[in-house]
Amino acid sequence: MKPLELMAEVERLGTRPLWPSFDPLSTPVALYDGERTYLFGHPSPPPEFAGPAAPGEPATHAGRHPAIVANTNITLAGVGTATFMLDSAAGLSPSQAAAVVIHEMFHVFQRAKHLGWSANEIDLLTYPFENVGLLQLRRLETEALRRALSAERLDDAAGWAATALAMRRERYAVMDPAHVAYERRTELNEGLATYVERLAWPDVARPALPEADWAPDAVRPRCYSTGLALALLLDRFSDDWKGRLESGAAASIDELLAATLTAAPHAFTSEETEAARQRAAADCQALLAKRSRELKVFESMDGWSVVVLADQSAPLQLRGFDPMNLTLVGPRALLHGRYLRLGTAAGWIEVFGRRSLTEGQGNHPVTGGFKRLTVTGLPSRPEVSGAGGSLLLSADGLKGEVSGHFEWGERSLLVVLDRSIRGQG
């Protein structure tokens, strides 16, 4: 699939009515195809982009532009821009890929009009994944949503939707408000973007909700689907729900649905409730074992390692990460799956396309900064250049510029950051 082919499909699908005042065709898009970055529709491309050669054609940049790291939305030269990794879309048809691009375009629209729809990803790191009772209620809520979506009769759909909301109210009543806000805002942000993506290309073969729910710690991906499910139910029960949400008539999708429904909840059998509890208990135990296993796999990877140590008084700070590829493997330990950027007064370090491990300073895995970064499994010896001031680090999937000193081991590089150096983090 070529960039021009993909954007032609985006233009075709983008003419469909998707959301009030959302115009995909006016949103800039940056695509990376593995060799070049293509920038479409940007009113003032940054100077590192060449062109466009003619009106309607993209500006281009050799290689991957540093700002393009995932399917997401960014601010590029002061303009909201959707980004898409075309090099990783081999299994998608042009229509599927175009719908994903429109998903990211909708995020640009959301950032401009609805900043309050974005969740604080840091709150997810203290979420009570291992709480059996909460997971049991979550599983019952998901099953009720599934039954509501599949019900042919409107009264059955309303009854099971009411059941799902009842399970949610019981769960939210004992949860930290920050974690409640995380779910609701992620449903607004990612759930509605998934809904718009589905309107652009209706993938009827893919169910909105899986029968088995999600793993205990898969809260974020679950919100993509529960947000979609709530929006599809609102389509069934309300003609004007999008306008009401746009106007601020409700702060969340589930509250908007609750205000729409009048049906009494249906009931699960005692056997169904007990089965959900037993499965939740087993899955919470499996989650703890999985965390231990993933950490051991990371620590036992063959190849070279780079360990970066920061001084307690100047810890590494988070500059960018991928919340979709993040695993909590200890009270302060985070395993990052594909992208991480850290900065400090002593410089910056970026990991892209490989795993890395951070150890938080203090009682939280992120908010106090990081005292250690570990990258392992590197296929060859890291390169270090520079002297006196900044050191340039380079390895497969790792780069950085820091002030400090280094020590070589048999298959490892230890970098100790110099807290006395002041620079740009």
What is the C-alpha to C-alpha distance for residues 239 and 218, in angstroms, rounded to an integer?
32
Domain identity same for 74 and 125? no
**Which amino acid would we find at residue 74?**
I
Domain identity same for 305 and 375? yes
What is the C-alpha to C-alpha distance for residues 145 and 191, in angstroms, rounded to an integer?
14
Domain identity same for 126 and 225? yes
Final residue in a domain of this structure, among 260, 280, 314: 260
Q: pTM for this structure? A: 0.84
pLDDT the model gives residue 204: 59
pLDDT the model gives residue 421: 39
Whether 79 is in a domain gets the answer: yes
Give the mean model confidence (pLDDT) for residues 72-76. 95
Whether 279 is in a domain gets the answer: no
Final residue in a domain of this structure, among 60, 89, 113: 113
Q: How confident is the model at residue 425 (pLDDT cuts 50, 70, 90)?
A: very low
Per-residue pLDDT tens digits for 174-226: 999 999 999 999 999 999 999 999 999 987 567 789 888 999 999 999 999 99
What is the C-alpha to C-alpha distance for residues 413 and 424, in angstroms, rounded to an integer?
23
pLDDT the model gives residue 387: 63
Whether 282 is in a domain gets the answer: no
The more confidently predicted of residues 88 and 47 is 47
Whether 280 is in a domain gets the answer: no
The more confidently predicted of residues 90 and 75 is 75
Query: Cβ distance 103 to 196 under 8 Å?
Result: yes
Whether 32 is in a domain gets the answer: yes
Find the range with the poorest average confidence among 43-52, 138-147, 228-237.
Answer: 43-52
- Whether 17 has a pLDDT exceeding 50, the answer reads yes
Domain identity same for 150 and 108? no
Domain identity same for 141 and 77? no
Give the mean model confidence (pLDDT) for residues 126-136. 95
Domain identity same for 305 and 411? yes
Domain identity same for 236 and 192? yes
Domain identity same for 25 and 128? no
Whether 345 is in a domain gets the answer: yes
What is the C-alpha to C-alpha distance for residues 262 and 18, in angstroms, rounded to an integer?
27
- Close Cβ partners of 340 (under 8 Å, ≥ 6 residues apart): 320, 321, 322, 350, 351, 356, 358, 373
Domain identity same for 130 and 109? no
**Which amino acid would we find at residue 7?**
M
Per-residue pLDDT tens digits for 304-328: 999 999 988 889 999 999 888 888 8
Domain identity same for 149 and 256? yes
- Whether 422 has a pLDDT exceeding 50, the answer reads no
Domain range enclosing 413: 301-417
Per-residue pLDDT tens digits for 95-111: 999 999 999 999 999 99
Query: Cβ distance 118 to 185 under 8 Å?
Result: yes
Domain identity same for 192 and 320? no
Domain identity same for 108 and 125? no
Average pLDDT, the chain: 92
Query: Cβ distance 22 to 76 under 8 Å?
Result: no
Query: Cβ distance 60 to 38 under 8 Å?
Result: yes
Final residue in a domain of this structure, among 84, 113, 142: 113
The more confidently predicted of residues 205 and 120 is 120
| 390-395 and 304-309 beta bridge pairing | unpaired
Q: How many domains does the chain have?
A: 3
Whether 229 is in a domain gets the answer: yes
Q: How confident is the model at residue 364 (pLDDT cuts 50, 70, 90)?
A: confident
pLDDT the model gives residue 182: 97
What is the crossing angle of helices 94-113 and 3-13, to 10°? 60
What is the C-alpha to C-alpha distance for residues 408 and 393, in angstroms, rounded to an integer?
13
Q: How confident is the model at residue 363 (pLDDT cuts 50, 70, 90)?
A: confident
Whether 286 is in a domain gets the answer: no
Per-residue pLDDT tens digits for 35-55: 999 999 999 999 999 987 677
Q: How confident is the model at residue 423 (pLDDT cuts 50, 70, 90)?
A: very low
